[in-house]
Structure 1
C-alpha cells in the first residue's frame, strides 16, 4: 500500500495532490452538518440520479439527498485515480468516502466514474436504473461544470471559456503569493470572439441535461411525478460582467430556457417538473477559476460570517422542494432561489462598499482571508480540522465497486 506524508503543493488555486484522510473527513463533516428530516421519509425510498456528484454543489446534492430526502440511486462524476507519482483527485477520495457513508446509512448508492456527456454513460445509468432500481427514476439533479464536451452525434469537441461579451472587462481579483500573502490585482479579460459564446453554451448550457432526460424517457424510466433540477448561479452585480453577462451567463440562460421546455414536456408526459435552482456563493474548484470571484467571496464572508449558508444546507432545502416535503418556491422566471442570503440588498451594499475599498493593504481587514484560504485548501483535503498532516496516509484508495 502506497503511504506518503502529504503537504499542499499548489500553483495559485491549482493543487498538485489531494489528501485522502482530509477528503474523507470533509465528507464526514458535511454529512454531520446536513440537517436530518423532521419526519423520516416513509415507504419506498425514492431513486435519484446526481450528475456531477463528487464536488461542490453536486457533492452536497448527493449527501443531502441521502440524509435529508432518504434517496437511493446513482452518482456520476469524472475523476482521476492515483498513480505512482500523484495522488488521486480530491473528487476520487470524496467519492470513496461518500460510498462508505451511504453504506453505513443503509442506502443503495452506485457511484460511476466516466464522461457524463457520453451516450455510453447514459446507457450504463439507464441499465442500472432498469435492473437494480426497479426501472423507475424519481429525481435527477444536474450539476456539471466542465471545460469541454464532445458532442455524441457529431464527435465535435466544444470548449467553454470565461469571457465577457461585447467589451473588455477589467476587475479586481484576489491572489496569494508563494508565501501566502494576499494581493489585490486588477486583471483584464478580452471579450468573447468568434464562436466563444456558442462553444460555451454547448458545454455548459442545457443541451446535455435535456439529452439525459430524453435518453431516460426513451427507455421508459421516468417515474410518475419525476422531478429534475439543474444547478445554476446568478451572483452579484460586482461580478456580472464576467459571469452572468458573460459567456458562462449565456450558458446559464440556455440552461434556464431548457428548464422551461423540459418542464412543459414532463408535465404533459409524466406529471413531472423541471426547474433550475439558483444557489448562493461558495468556494468551489470551478468558482476559483473565475476572475473576481475569489475576492467577492472573501468579502461576502467578511460581511456575513457564519451567515454564509453552506452548500449542503442549500441542497437540503432543494431536496425538500423536489420531494414535496416543502412547496416549490419559484421566482417569476420559474427558478428555485436559494441565494437570498447572498443577494439581500443590505448584504450587497456592504459587499460593494468593501469591494470599492479593497486594496492589497486593506483586504485583510475587509475579507475573511483565513476562511477563504482554508476553504480552498479543504477542496483538496488540506486544512481540515482533526487530521494529522504529519502522519503517512494511504493514497491508493480504490473506486467504490458495484455489481448489477
Structure 2
C-alpha cells in the first residue's frame, strides 16, 4: 500500500502523474449523468479502447443505460516509480461500478493491435458470453506493430498538399498563450503509415476474428468512432494525414456492411477535450472557442455516447447522413455555431484570449483527464496509488 499526496506536474498538456481519487470520482460523475433503461435483455459488447475519451464514455453509457455485459480492451501502465496512467485508474473505477450494478464486464490490459490480444479476448467472450451483439472500436494510438509482418507503422500529424500554419493555444503557469503552429506536408509513405495506424485494417481484423470463431450474435452491429470537425481545423485534421486515415475507416465501414450478418457504421462524434485531441495544434483553441459560444449546450462525450447507444439499440432512429455515417456532431457543425466560432477565431489575440476563448475551462478539462480539478476530491490528502487492475473471473 502506497499513499501519498499527488500534485499535477508536467509540461504543456502532458502530466507525469494521475490522481486515483480524481479519476474514480470522474467515473462516478459520468455514471450519474446516465438515465437507465430497462432492456429486454442485456446486450454483450466488446469495446476496443475503453479507458479514455469516447471509448470510456461509450463503455460507461452502455453499462449505465442498457446494462451491457462484455469486455473492454485498453493498453495502460500500472503504478511504478510514477503513478499509474489515468486510464488505469478510470478502468478500475469503471469495473467497480459494473460490479456494483450487477453486470459481468471484464477488462483486458493489452495491445489491441496484437493477434495474441484478440485470441485472449475472444477466448474470454466465448467462455463468458458465447457471442457479442456490439463491437465499438475507439483506438487512438501513435504507432502500430502489425503482428503478421512485424512492421512498425508510425502515424504522422501533417498536412496534404501544402504546409499550413494555424493559431493554437498553450499555457504558461496556467495562463493562456496564443501561439502559432506550423505543419509540414506529409510524404506518400507517411500518409500510408498513418492509414495503417488509424485506418480500418485492425477494426476489420477484430470483426474477422469474431466471425471466424462464430462469436457474432444475430443482428450484430459494429461502429468505429471518427471525427470530421470544422473548416477551421480542416487543413490539419480532415484534409491532412489523419483525415486520410479517417476516410479509410469510413470506407471500411461500407465494406464490412456488405457482409452477411454485419451492420457497420462510423460514428461522427463532436469536438471534445481528450488526450488525443489536445495534442493536435489548433484543436485546443478551436474547442475553447466552441465552448465559449455554446456553453452548456456543447454536448459532452457521455451525452453523445448515450445517443450512440440509443441509436444502436433501436431506441432511437439512427441519424445517418448521405454516406451512411451516424452523425452525433450536428450540434457542432450547425452553420450559426460555426459562424460564431469563426468570428471569435478571427478576433482572438494574446490580449483578449482569456475572455474571447474559454481558456480556463479548457485548461481545467485537460487537468481532469488526469484526475485533477475534479469537484469533491481533497487534493491535499494522501491517496492510494497502488490500485490493482480489475481481475478477470
Equivalence for 1:154? 149
Q: Secondary structure at the match of 1:175?
A: strand
- TM alignment of 1:235-384, pairs within 5 A: 235-265=229-259, 269-270=260-261, 272-384=262-374
Correspondence 1:398 to 2:388 = yes
| Aligned counterparts of 1:325 and 1:264: Cα–Cα separation in 2 | 24
Equivalence for 1:216? 210
CA spacing shift, 1:299–1:311, aligned 2, 3 Å? same
How far did 1:367 drift? 1.2
Asked if 2 retains the 8 angstrom alpha-carbon contact of 1:170 and 1:187, the reply is yes
| Aligned counterparts of 2:162 and 2:36: Cα–Cα separation in 1 | 47
Q: Secondary structure at the match of 1:382?
A: coil
How far did 1:370 drift? 1.6
| Aligned counterparts of 2:36 and 2:300: Cα–Cα separation in 1 | 15
| Aligned counterparts of 1:101 and 1:367: Cα–Cα separation in 2 | 35
| Aligned counterparts of 1:33 and 1:368: Cα–Cα separation in 2 | 23
| Aligned counterparts of 2:382 and 2:306: Cα–Cα separation in 1 | 35
Correspondence 1:170 to 2:170 = no
Equivalence for 2:57? 60
Q: Secondary structure at the match of 1:315?
A: helix
Worse overlay, 285-294 or 323-332:
323-332
How far did 1:152 drift? 1.7
Asked if 2 retains the 8 angstrom alpha-carbon contact of 1:6 and 1:389, the reply is yes
Q: Secondary structure at the match of 1:174?
A: strand
Worse overlay, 376-385 or 191-200:
191-200
| Aligned counterparts of 1:250 and 1:243: Cα–Cα separation in 2 | 9
Q: Secondary structure at the match of 2:258?
A: helix
Give deviations 1:82-131, integer Å, cap 9, x for gaps. Answer: 00x20000000000000000001111000000000001111111111111
Give TM-score scaled by structure 1 length. Answer: 0.96
Asked if 2 retains the 8 angstrom alpha-carbon contact of 1:35 and 1:313, the reply is no
| Aligned counterparts of 2:140 and 2:35: Cα–Cα separation in 1 | 26
| Aligned counterparts of 2:318 and 2:336: Cα–Cα separation in 1 | 26
Give deviations 1:19-59, integer Å, cap 9, x for gaps. Answer: 0000000010011112323xx112x3111000000000000
| Aligned counterparts of 2:256 and 2:61: Cα–Cα separation in 1 | 24
Equivalence for 1:225? 219
Equivalence for 1:75? 72
Q: Which runs of 5+ in 1 are unaligned?
A: none
Equivalence for 1:200? 194
Choose which of 131, 138, 141 in structure 2 pairs with 1:136. 131
Q: Secondary structure at the match of 1:107?
A: coil
Asked if 2 retains the 8 angstrom alpha-carbon contact of 1:51 and 1:75, the reply is yes
How far did 1:228 drift? 0.4
Q: Secondary structure at the match of 1:88?
A: coil
Give deviations 1:293-315, integer Å, cap 9, x for gaps. Answer: 00000000000000010101101
Asked if 2 retains the 8 angstrom alpha-carbon contact of 1:69 and 1:320, the reply is no
Asked if 2 retains the 8 angstrom alpha-carbon contact of 1:102 and 1:108, the reply is yes
How far did 1:194 drift? 4.5
Give deviations 1:135-162, integer Å, cap 9, x for gaps. Answer: 2110000000000001121110001011
| Aligned counterparts of 1:196 and 1:230: Cα–Cα separation in 2 | 22
Q: Which runs of 4+ in 1 moved over 3 A?
A: none
Equivalence for 1:7? 7
Please provide the CA RMSD for this pair: 0.8
| Aligned counterparts of 2:224 and 2:89: Cα–Cα separation in 1 | 24
How far did 1:252 drift? 0.3
